[in-house]
């Protein structure tokens, strides 16, 4: 019995010590919880302050950008106005030039005449004379008779007129004689006709 009482006393002491230890732990936990809540509150306050600072910076930047945009828009408007005024000046000049051109065209009495180019020469094809067997030819149509190859017109013969020849070039036939009332007569001089107007009889 004695031992039982002693053990109960000892257990009470041990139990009391554990209770004290538990209470101190609970107090420590409460202190820690209070500290935690305090820290979280401070953090929230700091975050709000930091956000306000960052918001203030953003607002400042936005205001600066707005001012820059307004400045650039004003410059663009000025340049557009300058371009419009330059376009007006150019259009006025064009209109003046066109009106002067019309006046000049109306003042020109011979608008359809062109200046003769004295330096421009006719391209002359060199014709080489070739001998051939004397033959009789006739005109396909009324044709001009020339005094030389690429020369001047001296006669005009009617279609079906007959003549003889023994010389030609690339484009011309020489007339050595011709027929009048079916009688042959020697040509009085140099006579030439274009080959395109004749056919062999």
CATH of the domain at 171: 2.30.30.40
* Domain assignment present for 42: yes
**pLDDT over 70 (residue 169):** yes
* Domain assignment present for 117: no
Closest CA to 155 of 191, 198, 185, 188: 191
Percentage of residues of the chain with pLDDT beyond 90: 33
Of the ranges 25-39, 73-87, 121-135, 153-167, which is most confident? Answer: 153-167
Higher-scoring residue by pLDDT: 150, 107: 150
Could you tell me the residue range of the domain that residue 148 belongs to?
A: 130-200
* Domain assignment present for 125: no
The sheet carrying 162-168 orders its strands as: 153-157, 143-146, 183-194, 172-180, 162-168, 130-139, 198-200
* Domain assignment present for 45: yes
Based on the domain organization, do 104 and 11 belong to the same domain? yes
* Domain assignment present for 122: no
Secondary structure (3-state) at 193: strand
Structural domain count, the chain? 2
β-pairing, 183-194 vs 172-180, is: antiparallel
Based on the domain organization, do 31 and 92 belong to the same domain? yes
Higher-scoring residue by pLDDT: 131, 73: 131
Q: What pLDDT score does 75 carry?
A: 76
pTM listed for this prediction: 0.40
Each residue's pLDDT tens digit, 139-153: 999 999 999 999 999
* Domain assignment present for 21: yes
**pLDDT over 50 (residue 118):** no
Closest CA to 178 of 197, 158, 196: 158
Based on the domain organization, do 155 and 93 belong to the same domain? no
Each residue's pLDDT tens digit, 26-50: 677 777 777 777 767 777 777 776 6
Based on the domain organization, do 146 and 72 belong to the same domain? no
Q: Residue 168 — pLDDT band, cuts 50, 70, 90? A: very high
Secondary structure (3-state) at 18: helix
* Domain assignment present for 87: yes
* Domain assignment present for 1: no
Closest CA to 201 of 173, 158, 168, 164: 164
């Amino acid at each position: 019995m004695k031992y039982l009482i002693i053990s109960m006393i000892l257990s009470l002491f041990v139990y009391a010590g554990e209770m004290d230890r538990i209470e101190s732990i609970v107090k420590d936990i409460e202190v820690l919880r209070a500290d935690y809540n305090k820290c979280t509150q401070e953090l929230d306050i700091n975050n709000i302050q930091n956000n306000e600072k960052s918001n203030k910076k953003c607002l400042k930047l936005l205001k600066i950008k707005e001012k820059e945009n307004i400045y650039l828009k004003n410059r663009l408007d000025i340049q557009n106005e300058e371009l419009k005024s330059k376009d007006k000046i150019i259009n006025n000049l064009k209109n003046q030039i066109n009106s002067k051109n019309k006046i000049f065209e109306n003042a020109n009495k011979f608008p359809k005449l062109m200046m003769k180019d004295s330096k421009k020469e006719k391209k002359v094809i060199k014709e080489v004379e070739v001998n051939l067997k004397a033959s009789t030819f006739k005109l396909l149509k009324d044709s001009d008779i020339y005094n030389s190859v690429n020369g001047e017109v001296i006669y005009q013969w009617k279609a079906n007129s007959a003549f003889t020849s023994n010389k030609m070039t690339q484009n011309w036939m020489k007339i050595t004689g011709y027929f009048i009332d079916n009688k042959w007569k020697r040509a009085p001089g140099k006579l030439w006709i274009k080959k395109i107007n004749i056919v062999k009889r």
